[in-house]
Structure 1
Amino acid sequence: MKKRIINIYSLAFLAIMGSLSACDKQLDLAPEDTTVESEVFQTAASAESALMDVYNKTYEANKSTAYSIGDVTTRLIEVTSTFSMALVSGNLLTDDYTPEKIWSDTYSAINVANVIIKSVPDLGTYNENLERQHVAEAKFLRAYNYFVMLRLYGDGALQGKMDGLCLPLQLKPYAGTEFVSNNALTRSTNSEVYTQIINDLTEALPDLNDEYDDDLETRARATKGSVHALLSRVYLCMGNYQKAAEESAFFVNNSTYRLASNLRSVFPMSGGVDVELDEEFIYAIPLTYNGGNHQFGTHFYPYYSKTLGYVSDDYLGKFTETDQRKSELIWNGNPLSSYNPGKPTTSKFNNNDGRDNIPMIRLSEMYLTRAEALANTSGKVQEAVDLLNAIASRADAAFVDYTLSDFTTADDLIDRILLEREKELAFEGIHRYDIIRTGRKLQFRNEDGVYEDVPADRYVLPIPKREIDITKGSLVQNPGYL
């Protein structure tokens, strides 16, 4: 089965390149040649090849800064790269390459998802149940990619500003090869984008599998579990704690997903090809899908090389010496690197060529999401404490379980859960958004070694100037960059 998955990814380019056109004038382009497109969707195998291109484009969109920005812009990392200071301090220019590349790569994934969503019902001639599954997978991926964008570009999206401007909702494949400025989409509100994400996930849920025959596919393709997990993450960012608690409840006593006793089995040392996915993963981009040395290359996360910086003393000081997250998952990285020699880095990403499994959603996050949501809706409750204890005790054999009496107020419990999220989910692209959604301050260390607040109106990236120029101003800039 693993060999078949790899072949699907390599076939995806052949299938899609024959049926899709690309243009550098906006987002990405939809199919021009409907005859070729109809051939793509005549069989389940060729349609699945097209679907795999959405998975691959989601990987491409989450390479490099798009993923690592969730951590390197926080106090988890001591940034030493002068080149990266504009990013971490919130001083990016509107024509900076970083927001432009994230924007274009993510919309590329969204556009091919749109092709699947439109073309499979219109042109598909294979098993109807499998057709619905393929559309559901594409809706999950469209929702995932829109949520990535919402957190990065939505003005106040993580701070309850539902009328703030977010993203243009491109829900149909781009038609034609020529951009027409008066047809350009405007930015929808945060509320409208959240609603679209939730609708996509809700519509996808009935037609997705609980599991696949191959365990790798269960953790690397959209399932009912990955929908519930993403919904819980979305609702948490909206501050809808009741719904976040309901969605994360799916994972309580769910036999498909299990916490590993040893964190090294979750993040094994990678030889660069075919690294297993632990049962803790709900959704991940596995190395197998990346195709090893002959296909899609490196993820470009800066951790192993320490080119951007190293793990901060501020973060390391939050652990006991017996905690696996320090003793097992922090190391010195590349011994031959001239960047920050002798300084610590995470070994969650440990392959010297940047070929590792990429965690997108893990079971431990769901435990902590439910704990936080319960504490916010029901106050000090035993289940929230039990879920916190499960994560903390798994990591640290010397940990002594908390009791309800250890917390004076619900806020005390919430603070401790948020600390556990920071310790557990560090370097998995989440911490920045936890800081913003909970009303804390993003900070960076300036040239004098002093922590300074990032301006609050720079908590989001600028809308790329190129996109504003192309639309002749139909897309308006985020307020902090005007």
Structure 2
Amino acid sequence: MKKINNTIYAFAFVASGLVFTACNKQLDLAPEDTTVETEVFQSASSAESALMDVYNKTYEANNGAAYTIGDFTTDLLVVSNSYYQIVINGELPVDNSTSKSIWADCYSTINVANVMIESIPKLGTYNEDLELQHIAEAKFLRAYNYLVLLKLFGDGALTGNMNGLGLPLQLTPYEGTRYDAANALTRSSVGEVYAQIIKDLTEALVDLQEAYEDDLETRARATKGSVHALLSRVYLYKGDYEKAASEANFLIGNVNYALNSNLRSVFPLSSGYDVNLDKEFIYAIPLTFNNGDHQYGTHFFSYYSKVSYYVPEEFISKYSDTDQRKTTLIWKGYEGANGQHPTKFTTSKFNNSDSRDNIPMIRLSEMYLTRAEALVRTSGLTQEAVELLNEIAGRADLSFTDYVLGDFATADELIDRILLEREKELCFEGLHRYDLIRTGRKLQDKDLPENRYVLPIPKSEIDITKGSLEQNPGYL
């Protein structure tokens, strides 16, 4: 882990020369001068430092509400925070800070990735294979952040509307230091954004490693495995189930990844520093090793204290009494200085009192369940899908009795059971909202109109482009 974090901190002194990171014009994130870039890309170590800033910015773009919105807008949580209730009810104003910060942070990350992708071929003077790997890692991270934006802001992106309003596809660094509204990008279609994400990932696949010498880097940096896993998620969201199943299959049986029968080992009690990543993690954001609250530090997930939200009994009752996901991964957490939350439960996947935990982004169990669902959607009732479901349900609960194919009368029955297992297995990992939307089910607010399943495009972005950047229809 030291290698990752040392390079992150080393980049602090050159970051300002690569990109403006505090700009009110969210897409106006420009390289300051090529002299600094030339120096950065002269050596592998300084280039890797620059690359680590893209990883760090990915963390910044995926902490706080950007991550937890995937769960607190669903029935997995009871929300007591009034602002989060506004998000749940689809009542966010178009100038709200939540959508603005997610938009700004993701595009800030994308822009630094663009600097890497464009500058290394022009200015790099170090080992060519390592240059190609660094470009591939930047493409993986650009794709990851575009998917974050697409599932939150893309109109119809999770319901199959490939002609819906997608995102501005900024694929090169901004030139100069001033925003020029005349050159502002319009929103590409949902289908075009998916195509670019898939293109980035497909190109990245060629030059990435299967694994690193340091196992923690294998889980925290882009690899061939994390590309296949993200492609599987992309195809699932896009509704291309045959490809979703195929990509997920790359991870199942792969020697670099394994399910763990002890879920406390997957989500250990966090000391706040140097917490290992289990082999079940395909891609995760690790916390910093030096106990600081910078870069990979506090994630701002309000689980431990149960002040903003807590887990309801209705959800907990979906588990058997012998399921580790209930007995080990649901707990009371912090009850309050005056014991005001003694009966409220929370997830112990994030259990550090200072919000310093590893952040799961893609786990192997997701790939089992993605392949299972996708197989049923393409081939109907299949034995392999049932076996994949049994693997995930059975490893969590020793009392679980395996299903047989005859237990399901229809393909829809099996899909419903797989989706329930996704809910129980991947809860509080920022994914449930998107599973509900893509399968036509309701979010926590059952009366929320579908055109408000996406967030509003920040008003400041629309204003600065003089309206060429269109607002999502639900907020007009």
Could you state the TM-score of these two structures normalised by the residue count of structure 1?
0.96
- 1:353-406 deviations in whole A, cap 9, x for unaligned? 000000000000000000000011111111100000000000111000000000
- 1:201-253 deviations in whole A, cap 9, x for unaligned? 00000100000000000000000000000000000001110000110110221
In 2: Cα distance, 1:252 partner to 1:430 partner: 20
**1:426 is matched with which residue?**
427
Map 1:400-439 to 2 at 5 A.
400-439=401-440
> 1:337, CA displacement in angstroms?
5.0
Q: Could you say what secondary structure the match of 1:284 adopts? A: strand
**2:272 is matched with which residue?**
272
Gapped regions of structure 2 (runs ≥ 5): none
Q: Could you say what secondary structure the match of 1:359 adopts? A: strand
> 1:287, CA displacement in angstroms?
1.1
In 2: Cα distance, 1:374 partner to 1:28 partner: 43
In 2: Cα distance, 1:204 partner to 1:13 partner: 26
**1:466 is matched with which residue?**
460
- 1:309-349 deviations in whole A, cap 9, x for unaligned? 21012211111110000110001111335664430000000
**2:41 is matched with which residue?**
41
**1:121 is matched with which residue?**
121
> 1:3, CA displacement in angstroms?
2.1
Q: Does 1:384 align with 2:385?
A: yes
In 2: Cα distance, 1:288 partner to 1:20 partner: 23
**2:103 is matched with which residue?**
103
> 1:408, CA displacement in angstroms?
0.4
> 1:127, CA displacement in angstroms?
0.4
The letter for the 2-side match of 1:352 is S
> 1:21, CA displacement in angstroms?
3.2
In 2: Cα distance, 1:242 partner to 1:83 partner: 40
**1:476 is matched with which residue?**
470
Query: Which range moves more in the overlay, 294-303 or 137-146?
Result: 294-303
Q: Conserved in 2, the CA contact under 8 Å of 1:270 and 1:355?
A: yes
> 1:294, CA displacement in angstroms?
5.0
**2:395 is matched with which residue?**
394
Query: Which range moves more in the overlay, 238-247 or 80-89?
Result: 80-89
Q: Could you say what secondary structure the match of 1:48 adopts? A: helix
In 2: Cα distance, 1:121 partner to 1:460 partner: 37
- 1:273-322 deviations in whole A, cap 9, x for unaligned? 00000000000001137x53253331100111112121012211111110
Q: Could you say what secondary structure the match of 1:251 adopts? A: coil
**1:219 is matched with which residue?**
219
Q: Conserved in 2, the CA contact under 8 Å of 1:15 and 1:46?
A: no
Map 1:273-352 to 2 at 5 A.
273-288=273-288, 291-293=290-292, 295-296=294-295, 297-336=297-336, 340-352=341-353
In 2: Cα distance, 1:178 partner to 1:15 partner: 21
In 2: Cα distance, 1:463 partner to 1:75 partner: 25
Q: Could you say what secondary structure the match of 2:409 adopts? A: coil
The letter for the 2-side match of 1:458 is R
Gapped regions of structure 1 (runs ≥ 5): 445-451
The letter for the 2-side match of 1:409 is T
The letter for the 1-side match of 2:362 is I
In 2: Cα distance, 1:46 partner to 1:134 partner: 12
Change (3 A) 1:480 1:294: closer
Runs ≥4 in structure 1, deviation > 6 angstroms? none
Q: Could you say what secondary structure the match of 1:244 adopts? A: helix
The letter for the 2-side match of 1:308 is S
Q: Could you say what secondary structure the match of 1:443 adopts? A: coil
Q: Could you say what secondary structure the match of 2:92 adopts? A: coil
Change (3 A) 1:223 1:341: same
In 2: Cα distance, 1:264 partner to 1:104 partner: 35
**1:13 is matched with which residue?**
12
Q: Conserved in 2, the CA contact under 8 Å of 1:29 and 1:176?
A: no
In 2: Cα distance, 1:267 partner to 1:166 partner: 35
Percent of pairs with identical residues = 66
